[in-house]
Structure 1
Amino acid sequence: MSDSSLPYSGPADPGAPGHVLPRPLWILTLGNFAIGTSALMVAGVLGLVSSDLRVSLGHAGAVVTAYSLTYALSAVLLGSLTGRLARKPLMLAALGLFALGNLGAALAPSFGVLIAARVLSAVGASLFTPVASGVAAALVAPQLRGRALALVFVGLAFSTVVGVPLGTWIGTALGWRAAFWLVVGLSAVALAGVALLVRPVRVTPPSAHWLHLLRRPVLVRSLLVMLLLYVGQFSVYPYLSALLHGATGLDPAGVVAMLLWFGAVGLLGNALGGRLSDTWHGPRTLQLGLGLTALGLLALPLLAASVWGMGLVLALWGLGSLLTNPPQQSQVVALSPDAPSVGLALNASALYLGQALGAPLGGALAGAHPVWLGPVGGIMVLGALALAVYNGRVLRGAAAQG
């Protein structure tokens, strides 16, 4: 499958060789790093938010749900409404809204204001990430698009390795508001970088509305793959720290070390996914990632009592999960050539809707045996794998006929 229908705007970094990814892509990566840090670090400071704003821990969880649901809804609507706007000013506006929302969170005098600030942050994030992916694809030649998307997406992956532990540590040491100030600073640097270093790109205005895209069965199945993958993962991920401590007896430093390991293998998976998607086979790379993720989650009850066993679980899960991102995004772009930015927005919506559905599912089932969340999530990911395999066969059949 080819992404050749996307407009190529010429080299983004004229001084770079044709096989080297342009330097401005790193600015887009930084923007995604800020967004990933803001989205995920909240779980590490929820207890502090609960105490400071005098709400129950369960009530404080609405901060996560409000962000995820807002992102899921606004990514689709705004992706469609802004599809004809220039990409660079749109990215600047998105980062400005995101920074403003995090500033509001840092200064929030009440829980209601904090929720409103998180909603504003999610609106900005939902605009930036799909647009940045589309810009990255337009800045490089078609044969480099998988790696370009992997680089931009690595910002989200890297946030799990560095951003989330750093934000949690700062929040614990200096207060939860300081963690949001960190994100404000990262957002400001990314905004300045986009303004100074990312040149405008030519885009073809989308000729299809998001509702029209949802009438394409192959694309809908591709989006359902992402939805099921993240329902499965987020039925476990929010409870991973508690599970690591309870099942293996690790102290807080040991839990942090395991989370760093999880993020590090995820970075490897993201890089490998981009390269395999470009040089091997996109749909099979996606299926490989889904299979590894399902295997890791399904093995959780068998290996949870051992630190080494949990290390293996996290390696399979982290490697497989991030391996899926580049081929999934490349496939969505190829399946929506008349509106790639809208297709990427739909993909982001599916991801965050999966998070919003998975977290309460896991919370309802955590109970006395949290290790069994692994098979629950694994079954969801197996459903995603089955859809991906079927989609791959349909695409091969269409290619053979065409």
Structure 2
Amino acid sequence: MKRSMRPLGVQVGLFTLIRILINTSYRMVYPFFSFFQGGLGVSLPAFSLVLTLRSFSGVVGPLLAPLTDRYGRRPAMLAGLGMFVLGSGLVALLPNYGSFMIGLFLMASAYQVFLPAMQAFLGDRVAYAERGRVMGLTELGWSLSFILGIPAVGWLVERVRIWWAPFVVFALVGVVLLGVLWWLVPRDPQGERHSAATSRLQVRALLHSPHVLIGLAMGLALTSANEMVNLVFGLWLESQFALQLAALGAASVVIGASELLGEGISALWVDRLGKERAVAVGIVLNSLSAVGLFLLGRTITGALVGLFLFYLTFEFALVSFLPLMSGTFPALRATVMAGTIAAFSLGRAVGAVLGPLTYSLGFGVNLGVAILFNTLALVALRRVQVAELVPEVPGVGGED
């Protein structure tokens, strides 16, 4: 069977597996923070420096995404997964502090390269009316990395007690998936590639496209709202119930389940509701969940129920937002999706700055600011427009 004839469902399954792998490598550092720090034998500030450097990987996507739109989705996906194999292989072969720092940066950058290219690939091949379901299925890779990937890493390190062992597995599995990706994903049609002159004109048009820029601002506001709670809910549980380990352990299970359910509901319903309506419903319910969290947070059961609803509705809104943005500027779909991911990162940075400041005034203030950010996102949503045809640009014509 020719690669071009491989069913899309098989490709979506492969994309989800790749996302589970990359997301697991990203999320594992937090629960096994002390294990990696102890294995490296470095101080807390030195280890934190690694995570700080990794956070700068967010700029990689917007910088390289125009190349994805110019040269094709398949080369970018192969390059992204190749970067992941290179980063994990570097740590596995040279397990020291320097390689750990470089390796984590490469593995995080791989996500910034692979994800927009994958989303653009799906956007090119799936009609807008059905795109939410397909993109939603690949988003399961985020929650499943927490539910399946992190326990697998825990099982591995518990038995071998070698801090770099997970990177050996990541590199080997990455090589296998790289070969499968090369086989299953067809080459990009020549018509989907752009000349340098056309790419420059399209980037210029994108930068002057109000509905795209407003969409990016909306993504920033949406993730800022979530981070206002995400960053401090652990502190709140500890101070409220004095049960740090028990409460945080239960909260981790709750958050993982709510993420999975939110992604699944979005995949099932976003196309039926309509992308814009689904995002609006998710934002409104998320704001109501914030109010509910404040009212229910007097008992640990109520607090966990509130957190479950808050994260479920956020995940539903976020996953529904992705196919909406994929249709705003099809000529530079990968660039738009990379910008969206960068906006999410910037929103989390905004929340990281404001969250601790407002928490000093009380957790209720954090929830109020989260609702404010959600309101801004809801206002911005009214200005986001879908344009599946390429916007008219001097010297540029045709359809995506």
TM range (shorter): 0.7 to 0.9
Q: Corresponding residue for 1:74?
A: 60
Q: Distance in 2 between matches of 1:234 and 1:111?
A: 29
Letter in 2 for 1:123: S
Q: Distance in 2 between matches of 1:108 and 1:375?
A: 47
The answer to whether 1:311 aligns with 2:297 is: no
Q: Corresponding residue for 1:270?
A: 263
SS of residue matched to 2:71:
coil
1:73 offset after TM fit, Å? Answer: 1.0
- Percentage identity across paired residues of the two chains: 26
Q: Distance in 1 between matches of 2:138 and 2:9?
A: 11
**Contact preservation (8 Å) 2:39, 2:162:** no
1:375-386 → structure 2 map (5 Å cutoff): 375-386=368-379
Q: 1:220-264: per-residue Cα shift (whole Å, max 9, x none)?
A: 111111112222323432454454444344464653343222222
Q: Corresponding residue for 1:48?
A: 35
**Contact preservation (8 Å) 2:143, 2:260:** yes
SS of residue matched to 2:10:
coil
Letter in 2 for 1:97: M
Q: Corresponding residue for 1:177?
A: 164
Q: Corresponding residue for 1:212?
A: 205
**Contact preservation (8 Å) 2:4, 2:185:** no
Q: 1:324 to 1:165 in 2, by over 3 A?
A: farther
**Contact preservation (8 Å) 1:149, 1:274:** yes
The answer to whether 1:336 aligns with 2:329 is: yes
Q: Distance in 2 between matches of 1:185 and 1:371?
A: 46
Q: Corresponding residue for 1:130?
A: 116
Letter in 2 for 1:336: F
Q: TM-score, normalising length from structure 1?
A: 0.81
SS of residue matched to 1:335:
coil
Q: Distance in 1 between matches of 2:224 and 2:51?
A: 14
Q: 1:166 to 1:352 in 2, by over 3 A?
A: farther
Q: Corresponding residue for 2:21?
A: 34
Q: Distance in 1 between matches of 2:158 and 2:239?
A: 21
Structure 2: stretches of 5+ with no match in the other structure: 388-400
Q: TM-score, normalising length from structure 2?
A: 0.81
**Contact preservation (8 Å) 1:132, 1:152:** no
Structure of larger gyration radius: 2
Q: Distance in 2 between matches of 1:395 and 1:134?
A: 15
Q: Corresponding residue for 2:352?
A: 359
1:372 offset after TM fit, Å? Answer: 5.1
The answer to whether 1:24 aligns with 2:11 is: yes
SS of residue matched to 2:330:
coil
Letter in 2 for 1:76: P
Q: Distance in 1 between matches of 2:137 and 2:223?
A: 21
Q: Distance in 2 between matches of 1:378 and 1:115?
A: 37
Structure 1: stretches of 5+ with no match in the other structure: 1-8, 14-20, 397-402
C-alpha RMSD over aligned residues? 3.2
Q: 1:122-164: per-residue Cα shift (whole Å, max 9, x none)?
A: 2221110011112223343443211111111221232233334
**Contact preservation (8 Å) 2:228, 2:366:** yes
Q: 1:35-62: per-residue Cα shift (whole Å, max 9, x none)?
A: 2222222222233344444555455333
Q: 1:395 to 1:130 in 2, by over 3 A?
A: closer
**Contact preservation (8 Å) 1:107, 1:177:** no
**Contact preservation (8 Å) 2:24, 2:150:** yes
Letter in 2 for 1:22: G
Match of 1:151 among 129, 133, 137: 137
Letter in 2 for 1:115: M
The answer to whether 1:188 aligns with 2:180 is: no
**Contact preservation (8 Å) 2:123, 2:131:** yes
Q: Corresponding residue for 1:89?
A: 75
Q: Distance in 2 between matches of 1:284 and 1:236?
A: 24
Q: 1:98-136: per-residue Cα shift (whole Å, max 9, x none)?
A: 122133345665544433222212222111001111222
1:216 offset after TM fit, Å? Answer: 1.0
1:364 offset after TM fit, Å? Answer: 5.2
Q: Distance in 2 between matches of 1:40 and 1:363?
A: 22
Q: Corresponding residue for 1:16?
A: none
Q: Corresponding residue for 1:6?
A: none
Q: 1:12 to 1:201 in 2, by over 3 A?
A: farther
Q: 1:368-398: per-residue Cα shift (whole Å, max 9, x none)?
A: 956754444443333222322x326x779xx
SS of residue matched to 1:39:
helix
**Contact preservation (8 Å) 1:41, 1:167:** yes
Q: Corresponding residue for 1:161?
A: 147
Shifted more, 129-138 versus 299-308: the winner is 299-308
SS of residue matched to 1:22:
helix
Match of 1:391 among 383, 389, 396: 383
Match of 1:281 among 274, 285, 309: 274
Letter in 2 for 1:258: A
1:108-119 → structure 2 map (5 Å cutoff): 110-119=96-105
Q: Distance in 2 between matches of 1:318 and 1:129?
A: 22
Q: Distance in 2 between matches of 1:65 and 1:333?
A: 29
Letter in 2 for 1:333: S
Q: Distance in 1 between matches of 2:370 and 2:89?
A: 34
Q: Distance in 2 between matches of 1:76 and 1:310?
A: 38
SS of residue matched to 2:132:
helix
